[in-house]
Amino acid sequence: MNHSAATASQTKATAFQNDPRVAEAKRLIAEALAEHTESLNAVAEPDPELKDAYQGFIADYAAARGGPPLWPYFASGLGNGPYVELADGSVKLDFIGGIGVHGCGHSHPAIIEAGIDAALEDTVMQGNLQQNVPSVEMLSRLIELASQSGAPLEHGLLSTSGAMANENALKLAFHHNQPANRIIAFDNAFAGRSIALAALTDRPAYRNGIPLAIQVDYLPFLDPKDPAGSTQQAVAKLKQLLARHPGKYAAFWAEPVAGEGGYYAGSHDFFAALCGPLRDAGVSIVFDEVQSFSRTSKPFAFQHYGLDEFADIVTVGKITQVCATLYRKDFHPTAPILSQTFTGSSSSIQTGLETLRQLDAANCFGENGSNVTRHAYFADQLERLGKKHPGLIAGPYGEGMMIGFTPGDGSLDQAKLLMNILYDLGLLGFLCGAAPVRLRFLPPPAITTHEHIDAAIALLDAGLTEFAAKRV
């Protein structure tokens, strides 16, 4: 029997992918995966026999990179849900996921199978000149999700990183509103680390020695302690800027939930109060969802806040594996400003599609969906810890599956101290914000359970006890 023979109704690639030998190979891999990941279900100490080799990895990295890693984190290549094994044999509870990248956790069987399917494709990378069918499926699915509650987002472009997705958004906004040359963003905004995005990002250290590529003016974000007052303040500042630079603003850049700025939630009323005057002034509205996508009651946080009518350009990334810039039809460029050799790897596109399917299967979305219910559970547990450890942990606690809190006095030193204590105990979280600096968690929404949250809370409880003894 010729296993590779194709019928008249399918391509040879389809026949290859459906070959029973391929199916059997994938079955054996899945069987082996289950056996080897079964015991990775709790934090564990490093294996002393692997210590020297692990220190060698760290030293080699530091030599090649010119400095030490942010964390001594080098994974073995295996995990189980939110648990990840490092190359020193330790197991960590990963509640940061590469800053929101691993939405299905580690070694998810469906994600591995999608990666195998991608490895069977003819090329490693897709691009503007050569795209495989999954590229079409991915872009179509993202547009469908973005427009499902009314946003007229009809077009898009895949890209390899959130920074590239945001660069493309800037290009579209400037092209559409030429000759406007300024941007409005929020205090503590973060958009990426390219030259243009470093100018937009409200972190002077990130553009040290870098020429200023664009002019950016900043608005205060919503203050959870004074929603009405802070909204009035932001609107007043916006109107002042629009009057000072009439016709000069190409775009308003907004993260619906402040990401690197500190995990502070927005609201419908806050954004609507700003978007109305922006619409009247003809300023394009960009929602940067590179970090917030899939973590609220709807796929996009702008939908969560009921802002569909204001969405001109939307960027997405991280959890989607491949990134994208989505935009209204009238923003489609009239010049060849959007092009790139790589739009994404075959693996990122296939695993991104599977991640979207897993998010749906986990019932993440909806007013009573798992993103909302798990946030309420997590926030309640953090509130309890705050009462148990007064002065060591304070809210607000973020939005959906973007969990944040202020450790101690909110200084960088105290936040780093707690982060490192938790790392050693086996819980991975990371810093965000400034004045105060906050600790954030991005649990993988497709697989996180209340039991996983309980495990994180237990580690955080122990960490806070140690934190109280060590902080200055």
DSSP 346-398: HHHHHHHHHHHHHHHHTT--STTSHHHHHHHHHHHHHHHHHHHSTTTEE---E
Of 269, 29, 243, 14, nearest to 121 (Cα)? Answer: 14
Distance CA(26)–CA(57), nearest Å, equals: 31
The per-residue pLDDT for range 348-399, each reduced to its tens digit, is 999 999 999 999 999 999 999 999 999 999 999 999 999 999 999 999 999 9
The per-residue pLDDT for range 434-459, each reduced to its tens digit, is 999 999 999 999 999 999 999 999 99
**123 half-sphere exposure, CB direction, 13 A CA radius:** 15
Of 257, 250, 129, nearest to 200 (Cα)? Answer: 250
The token pair at 434 is 């400034």
pLDDT band, residue 9 (cuts 50/70/90): confident
Distance CA(332)–CA(172), nearest Å, equals: 8
Q: Which domains, from first to last, does the chain contain? A: 125-361 (3.40.640.10), 370-470 (3.90.1150.10)
Of 189, 168, 270, nearest to 224 (Cα)? Answer: 270
pTM value?
0.95
Of 354, 344, 283, nearest to 156 (Cα)? Answer: 344
For 420, the 3-state DSSP assignment is helix
Distance CA(207)–CA(193), nearest Å, equals: 8
The per-residue pLDDT for range 417-438, each reduced to its tens digit, is 999 999 999 999 999 999 999 9
Distance CA(20)–CA(25), nearest Å, equals: 9
pLDDT at residue number 7: 45
Distance CA(211)–CA(221), nearest Å, equals: 26
Distance CA(113)–CA(347), nearest Å, equals: 10
List Cβ neighbours of 241 (8 Å cut-off, separation of 6 or more). Answer: 184, 217, 219, 249
